[in-house]
Structure 1
Amino acid sequence: MVSRREFMQAAPLGALSLAGLGLAWPAAHAAAKTPRSVQDIPVEKMVSLAGDNVPRKPAQYPAQLAEILKETSDVGDSYLAEGAVGRLEAQFAKLLGKEDAAFMPTGTMANQIAIRLLSGDRSRVLLQKESHVYRDEADAVAVMNAINPVPVDGGASDGLYDAVAAAFAQSAEKPYPVEIGAVSVESPVRRLDGAAVSQETVSKLGALARSKGAGMHLDGARLLLMYGNKDFDLQRYCAPFDSVYVSLYKYLGAPFGAVLAGDKAFVAKARLARHVFGGTIYHGWIAAAIASKTLVGFDQRFTRVHAEAERLLGLLGAMPGIAVQRVPNGSNIAFLELDERMATGLRERLLEQDIVVGSVHEGRLQLTFNETILRKPVAAIAAAFSP
């Protein structure tokens, strides 16, 4: 498990935006006499093994939007109604197997609205202690919703069910039982190296929550990164959940945004809550149009990403000085244990071949796979690791 600081250090490109890529570093740094750097690599040729998203410069967005507008000019929305936003909402509702979906400006808002609506007048929500809602949303559950978050153990393992069941039992103890309104599950879990909760566990959790009259929310910010995992079926995975949130910018290329899906009554309330919380921005079509375009064929492309990543890990694991560590039930992250010979000068060797990785920390390197792995034969990527 890595902390947020360690995560950012391991992936210095962050979400692979311009600033994360270092394309806007201070002039004093740019003037330093250094070997080939990230700035020297054409962003469209870069193979980045250090983030979920495909790197892009801000200047690329206008050109991308111009191409989209050649296909259809009917993209404009008014306060997130109709246009590209409406089409994206319908696209996601169908994709996730839900009746409706609502555009949200941020993932935090999507999570908080879902928990608020599902909990009703019940005062507790159960969630993983490593979850984004508990660790990274600044006590919003308590501050914005007056709901008490109850963190549980289990992470992304099958032990999560037992932890949730125990929390339900404890909250029901007399003489002062407290009702649980919702169970919020993050999957894949960023703080657990992208590990995902299994289909069996989410199905069991769904049945348990229903038996207790509680709602089920999926913080699926990185959900679509599970495409390519063995036996993964998106609609089947989402079925036990009353609400599902998916990010638009982590790997779908949008500059911001999220989608929150559920049944029609839930989503109607979510749109009203969005307005109450100040999230009904005047236009969301820029983010919606880009995400909608990227979403087409994403399942097939990311299935290829998984296959190519496995091929690469196989080649790397056969090289002297490299040991591959896979994340159990992982999504798009793996680790390499490197001996000193292999680790020395590795980043510089890879940069010469337009390949970007994070920092080696105590002989350990995190690899995060995204669509850029498809830009170069994996045999060539593996060969670049060799001293």
Structure 2
Amino acid sequence: MSPRRHRSPVNLTRDTRQSDYSEIHMKYVIILGDGMADEPLAELGGRTPLEYAEIPNMDRIAREGRCGMLRTVPDEFEPGSDIANLSILGYDPRTTYTGRGPLEAASMGVSLQDGEIAYRCNLVTVRDGMMEDFNAGHISSTEGAELLRDLDAALGDVRVYPGVGYRNLMVVSRALGAETTAPHDIVGQPIEDYLPRGGDAEILLNCIERSEEVFADHPVNRRRLQEGKTPATGIWPWSGGKKPSLAPFQEKYGLSGGMISAVDLLRGIACLAGMEVIHVPGATGFLDTDYEAKARYAVNALDRLDFVYVHVEAPDEAGHMGSVEEKVRAIERLDEAIGIVLDRPDTTVAVLPDHPTPIRYKTHTMNPVPFALLGKGRDDVQAFSECEAAKGSFGLVQAPDFLSLLFS
């Protein structure tokens, strides 16, 4: 990795003087790097990954636009992509959020009936009572589906549905709910203190035990061990809830909207809000995602839609891995893709994370995140980072107000 340099303005293919934007406010794009915000790191000379990375396009948005900080997680909630992205899209989690599971169920086409609760269901690796890996070595979707098919046959009334990679779904009938913990929050810790508690706890614990039995000598795990990969030793259900109700996006803002994301959480929010879900070949929800394809599909979608929300999971995954190098690389690859969006002249562009995923903690925090808007005037900020955006003219904004600010 090479340190970020102070850059002079470069020659641009698009004239972005403020006078242009006073005439054109037709299309809108949010480019969201999940977990992109961080803390200063000794490995980066006391800089954050955003400060260190070479990100000329994000810097351009900040330099030619306006910046601020966004509070995406209310105090009474745990910091997570579900809460943060609902908030950014203008849906106050205090009145709309029921759990992560039902949001992902909507994306997967799983219709929840009265009395049913959907739980997010990770494939995990637990050894000697410790949460070793919250994603079972980033197990593939094909392998996960094979494991869950056999588990589903062993569970009876409880149903499991394969999703993307380690991210899957469990539905419990006649459910009461349970207090659960996200597995990515307890990596390296004993699971005993974080097992499900409350109404559905007995059901969920039984499902965890059955998964350990089914997976113990499963052909998928035998193959993974032979290949030197981490096995999926069981499931971990968490963040359950009943089907929520979201106001239609079109009615809420008077604009048509689309969602580009590889993860069911974001697609589910879009489905419930009546937004178009735009499927992009090569979008994986991991470090190897096709960043440029997401940008191209977003630009093309603007021919028929007013607004597109482009979600990229990779920086968050790198944060959970604790990999400084991968996080910087993910941010830089996202920045390259942003250039494709900036080539479209009739578009107001916002760039931001949903929450920090600091390398030091390997999980989410609830600190406000930086944002930059190109097409809403200009302030004195010269680069896109946590520290610089805090100097922006927008100040501190509450996330449920963000789209109203963008569309105003």
Structures share fold, TM-score greater than 0.5: no
Structure in which a larger fraction of residues adopt helix:
1
Query: TM-score under structure 1 normalisation?
Result: 0.29
Query: TM-score under structure 2 normalisation?
Result: 0.27
Taking CA–CA contacts closer than 8 Å with sequence separation of 6 or more, which of the two structures ends up with the larger relative contact order? 2
